[in-house]
Structures are given as C-alpha cells and as structure tokens.
C-alpha cells in the first residue's frame, strides 16, 4: 500500500464525461490498495473565459481580485470530481487550496508555496477517503487568496506529494509522455521513457508545456519521482527522476521552442561595472523575467545590453525602464518582436563537444538567422524569426536523429 498524488490538467477535466474518466483512473489506483490525493485544474478553457470576463469589465483589474476570480475555476472541478467519485460508491472529499493547508507568499498572481499543513489531508486519508485538492491556489499568512501562476497545478501536485511523503506523483495530460519535441508540430517526435530532472527543468523553462518548471524544481529538490502519463491511454508514460538510463547515442534528448519572444536593447548605458547589476535588479524588483542577455561596448565606452523577454511583458518592461531612466542613464530603448526561441537539451552534451556548432550549422544550412544565443552545460538556445520556428525545429530534430517510432511499454 502506498500514497499516490495524481494531477489532472484542464483538458483532462474538460467536461462531465472526462471528469467521470478521471474518477475511474483514481479508482483504479485506489483498488490497488493505494491512498489517493487528486489535484485538478479548472475545466478546459475556464480560466481563459474568466480572464476574458474580467477584460470586459476593466483593462486593468487588480491582481487581488483576479486571484479571487480565477480560483473559482478549480473549485468547480473539485466539487464535480468529488461527486463523480461518490456516485461510484467511493468516499471522497474536496478541498480548496487554503482548506488543504497550502500557505504561500503574500504575492498575487504568481505566489510561491512556503508551507503545507498536511494534518487535514492525512486525517481524511486515514479515514479511507480519496482527497481532491484544487490546484493553482493557496492562501497567504494573512488569509489572502493567492494563485501560483499559469501551470501552477503541477506545482501544487508535486509540493503536496513532497509534503505528504508520497511514493509517487503522476501528472496526467492529453499526451502519453514527454516527447523529443512537440508532436503537434513535428509528426516524427518520439516519446522518451525517462528524462532526468535537470533535462526536464531545462525543457520546461524553454517552452515545453508538458510540465511547469517550478513543479520539476520541487521534484528535484525533494527527489520525488514523477511520471507524465496520458489521462485516456493505458500505457506507460515518461519517468522523471535523478538517474536515468541514457538511450544509446542520444546526446540531445529534446528540442524545445517558444514563440512570442521580444528582444529589448538598452542603448548607451554608462560603461560602469554596476550598469548590468542596476538594470537587471530594477527589472527583477518588478517581477520581469529576463532570459538571454548580450552586452556589447561602443567606441564611446558606453554599453549596449540586449535581453529577451516574453512579448506579453514588453509594455511593462518599457514602463519600468522609462520610470528609472534617470537612475539607469541610458540613451534610448529599442525592441524587436515577432521572435521565437529554439533550444536543444541533453545531459550528453556535457561530454560531447561540438554540439552547439552542429546546431548552428543546421540553422545556417537552412538560412535561418540567429539573433541571440545562450548556452549552459546541457542546453543551447537561439532566438530566431518567429516565422522560421517550426521549420528550424524540424531541421534540428532530424539532424540530431531524434525522429523515430514512438516508444511505448
């Protein structure tokens, strides 16, 4: 007998029939003698619909009230799923994030989990109940309702699994596992049987939407085994853990990509040692995530700094930089949108030099202009024109021999 935390995303609970299917998947594990905690997202496009409703009211809603609004989506799902379990004769109880004891930072719209009080969940599990918890949400120490950001249900599930010392955390999605790249765009993408925490963390940060980066971070920190599985297909998924058996000759394990990228260039910064620190501290204090960074020095001994951000953050980034122009002392700001980020990831890259060169050659052979580059031990990222994104991904995927028949077990 073990404890399993199951997480089901929005597409998996997109209607009454799908919710009944989720109940059946949970019951299968329960009948194997396991205690079950289920974490769910809002149904289908509910969150998007709620955001749209708010936009009909105001173009600038407060983050507090948006949290109050958006958390209702998961509450609908937990109630319906608990009803479905009870209808099938199983004792079940639903909890919102705050009822489940999830305490977060006092930050609206993108809070981090600080602590989880597990007493209530453990008591109900001890009574034989299946516990259903709303993902994506919690409460601050002062009692304010908070949300964890989009994709935060993954984080809820892994954090709960760690706090409860679960044996495993299963992430159910509309795909059968983690693929070498997104199979919706590249038909020859292949399912991987296992991926390391570090590789999955890079893939998640670089645009692979199958798992939220913070969830992978939690799993790595607490050594919690994850399995990404299909909510409809009965087949093995992808195991994410510390040590993996590397597939033969697979130096690059996956190709991740993300559109809606903008390059911002701050022109004419003072050429002092503190320029970099000042500008990125200012952006960080305003919760603006910066990715690839390039600095160059002009003949006038001034610095130009370019960095990439998500296009949705451009307006706020420009406002922040303009508000601090006197402190930063730059000449002007330039920006270029319509860009995408394409990355390769693989632990095998550490001991195989020349992987980056091979990637650049593929892009050059396909006449794809590289505008920015970032590297680490296990990844290489490039920023290119958005219009060439899928073409570039397909070419790289083929060049590194990632195509093949999907692996199932």
Residue 405 reports pLDDT greater than 90: no
Structure token digits, residue 61:
């809603």
Q: Quick one: fold of 3-174?
A: Carbamate kinase (3.40.1160)
- One-character DSSP codes across 137-198: EEE-TTS-EEE--TTHHHHHHHHHHHHTT-SEEEEEESSSS-BSS-TTT-TT--B-SEEEHH
In this prediction, residue 260 carries a pLDDT of 96
CA distance 344 to 50: 35
In this prediction, residue 296 carries a pLDDT of 85
Backbone angles phi, psi at 347, to 5 degrees: -65, -25
In this prediction, residue 245 carries a pLDDT of 60
pLDDT tens, 96-147? 999 999 999 999 999 999 999 999 999 999 999 999 999 999 999 999 999 9
Residue 266 reports pLDDT greater than 90: yes
In this prediction, residue 247 carries a pLDDT of 53
In this prediction, residue 390 carries a pLDDT of 97
Better pLDDT: 151 or 20: 20
Q: Which CATH number fits domain 255-399: 2.40.70.10, 3.20.20.10, 3.30.70.260, 3.30.2130.10?
A: 3.30.2130.10
In this prediction, residue 251 carries a pLDDT of 86
Among residues 174, 198, 200, 192, which one has the least CA distance to residue 238?
A: 192
Q: Where are the domains of the chain?
A: 3-174, 255-399
Residue 89 reports pLDDT greater than 90: yes
3-174 and 255-399 in the same fold: no
- Indicate the pTM of the whole model: 0.85
CA distance 303 to 14: 50
Residue 302 reports pLDDT greater than 90: no
Which pLDDT band holds residue 210 (cuts at 50, 70, 90)? confident
In this prediction, residue 154 carries a pLDDT of 95
Which pLDDT band holds residue 244 (cuts at 50, 70, 90)? low
In this prediction, residue 351 carries a pLDDT of 81
């Amino acid at each position: 007998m073990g404890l399993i935390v199951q997480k089901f995303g929005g597409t998996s609970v997109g209607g009454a029939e799908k919710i009944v299917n989720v109940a059946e998947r949970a019951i299968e594990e329960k009948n194997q003698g396991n205690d079950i905690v289920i974490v769910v997202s809002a149904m289908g496009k509910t969150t998007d619909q709620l955001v749209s409703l708010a936009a009909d009211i105001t173009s600038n809603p407060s983050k507090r009230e948006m949290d109050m609004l958006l958390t209702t989506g998961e509450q609908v799902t937990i109630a319906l799923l608990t009803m479905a379990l009870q209808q099938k004769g199983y004792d079940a109880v639903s909890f919102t994030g705050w009822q489940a004891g999830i305490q977060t930072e006092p930050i609206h719209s993108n809070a981090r989990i600080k602590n989880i009080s597990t007493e209530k969940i453990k008591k109900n599990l001890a009574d034989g109940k299946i516990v259903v918890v709303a993902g994506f949400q919690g409460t601050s120490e002062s009692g304010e309702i908070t949300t964890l950001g989009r994709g935060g249900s993954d984080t809820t599930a892994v954090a709960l699994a760690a706090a409860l010392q679960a044996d495993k955390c299963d992430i159910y999605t509309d795909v059968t596992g983690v693929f070498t790249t997104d199979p919706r765009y590249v038909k020859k993408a292949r399912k991987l049987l296992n991926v390391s925490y570090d590789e999955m963390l890079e893939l998640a940060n670089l645009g692979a939407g199958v798992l939220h980066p913070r969830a992978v971070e939690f799993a790595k920190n607490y050594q919690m085994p994850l399995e990404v599985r299909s909510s409809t297909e009965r087949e093995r998924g992808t195991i994410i853990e510390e040590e993996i058996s590397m597939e033969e000759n697979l130096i690059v394990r996956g190709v991740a990509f993300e559109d809606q990228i903008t390059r911002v260039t701050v022109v004419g910064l003072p050429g002092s040692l503190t320029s970099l620190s000042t500008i990125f501290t200012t952006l960080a204090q305003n919760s603006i995530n910066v990715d690839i960074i390039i600095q160059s020095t002009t003949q006038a001994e001034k610095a130009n700094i370019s960095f990439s951000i998500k296009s949705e953050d451009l307006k706020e980034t420009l406002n922040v930089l303009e508000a601090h122009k006197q402190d930063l002392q730059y000449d002007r700001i330039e920006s270029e949108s319509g860009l995408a980020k394409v990355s390769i990831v693989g632990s095998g890259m550490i001991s195989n030099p020349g992987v980056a060169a091979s990637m650049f050659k593929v892009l050059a052979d396909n006449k794809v202009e590289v505008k920015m580059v970032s590297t680490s031990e296990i990844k290489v990222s490039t920023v290119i024109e958005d219009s060439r994104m899928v073409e570039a991904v397909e070419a790289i995927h083929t060049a590194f021999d990632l195509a093949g028949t999907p692996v199932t077990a």
